[in-house]
Copies of this chain bind each other. A is one copy, B any other.
Amino acid sequence: MISVVLVEPEGPANIGMVARTMKNFGFPKLVLVNPNITRESYSYAVHAADVLKEALVVGSFEEALELFDLTVGTTGKPGKSYIPERAPLMPWELRETIRGYPGRVGLFFGRESIGLKNEELERLDFTVTIPTSEAYPVMNLAQAVAVILYELAKERPEAKVHSLEPATRREKEELVNAWRRLLDALNYPKDPERREVFVRVFRRFVGRSLLYGREVHTLIGPLRRALMKLEECGDAER
């Protein structure tokens, strides 16, 4: 079970936005260290008021630490004064690292102004950082939470469910063959080698387009129809 911990968040609106993004990604457990929750927080939470209402409020960083088996601190650009023992993990490395971990995980986010203090970071098990541009590395708190939770939520099975079946290799091959037969019926281009190139271009077109099975059939239909008509027509001419 993963909880989000906001350590002394300064903006009431940010608390609400964080609650919203937590509910968006299906992480309902929020811990707040010395927060300033106002009506504005609820207004920014929109439909995630329940996350705010059920948040656990504690009085110190140490109290929050006690709640977890594994603690992760987020840092912006590692400052000059902080020399981490280990290089911070990238968000996707964090996901791999804690995958399947059965204990209680606390994801600690610091103050909007100064983040987590060095003495706080030292108490945590891991550090994670979002790779940002040198030109402007400091993210808005709620956006940083959104990015980390998005990455962690990828492990959930529902992230992988598509309602449509991707086209199989066989279906795609049928589509390419329908195209090939059309070119043959047209005798176009006349040069067989060039005709092969035309088929290859079509095959690449099919390969790159992430078609679904149903779509393949919608595309084959007119090609077969055209072929049939052209053949009828050819017979008529003879």
List, in ascending order, chain B residues with CB within 8 A of A218's CB.
Answer: 197-198, 201
| A114 CB within 8 Å of chain B | no
List, in ascending order, chain B residues with CB within 8 A of A135's CB.
Answer: 23, 26
For residues 148 through 172 of chain A, which have their beta carbon under 8 Å from a beta carbon of chain B? Answer: 150-151, 153-154, 156, 158-159, 162-164
> Chain B nearest CB: distance from A228 CB in Å?
9
Instruction: Kindly list the 6 A-B residue pairs having the minimum CB-CB distance in the complex, ordered from nearest.
Output: A233-B233, A209-B209, A26-B133, A143-B146, A131-B159, A23-B136
For residues 181 through 232 of chain A, which have their beta carbon under 8 Å from a beta carbon of chain B? Answer: 182-183, 186, 188-189, 197-198, 201-202, 204-206, 208-212, 214-215, 218-219, 221-222, 225-226, 229-230
The CA-CA distance from A132 to B159 in the complex, in Å, is 8
- Smallest CB-CB separation from A214: which chain B residue? B85
A24, A85, A219, A230 — most chain B CB neighbours (10 Å): A24
Beta-carbon contact of A136 and B204 below 8 Å: no
| A97 CB within 8 Å of chain B | yes
Q: Which residues of A contact B (CB under 8 A)?
A: 17, 20-21, 23-26, 46-48, 84-85, 87, 89-93, 97, 130-140, 142-144, 146-147, 150-151, 153-154, 156, 158-159, 162-164, 179, 182-183, 186, 188-189, 197-198, 201-202, 204-206, 208-212, 214-215, 218-219, 221-222, 225-226, 229-230, 233, 236-237
The CA-CA distance from A162 to B186 in the complex, in Å, is 33
List, in ascending order, chain B residues with CB within 8 A of A144's CB.
Answer: 146
> Chain B nearest CB: distance from A140 CB in Å?
6
**Do A136 and B198 contact each other (CB < 8 Å), given the known contacts A90-B159, A210-B97?**
no
List, in ascending order, chain B residues with CB within 8 A of A233's CB.
Answer: 229-230, 233, 236
The CA-CA distance from A214 to B200 in the complex, in Å, is 13
The CA-CA distance from A140 to B225 in the complex, in Å, is 47
Beta-carbon contact of A211 and B205 below 8 Å: yes
- Smallest CB-CB separation from A188: which chain B residue? B225
Can you pick out 23 interface pairs between chain A and chain B where the beta carbons lie within 8 Å of each other?
Answer: A20-B136, A21-B139, A24-B143, A25-B132, A26-B133, A47-B136, A87-B212, A90-B159, A93-B210, A97-B210, A131-B156, A139-B146, A142-B143, A143-B143, A143-B146, A146-B146, A188-B221, A188-B225, A198-B221, A201-B215, A208-B208, A226-B230, A229-B233
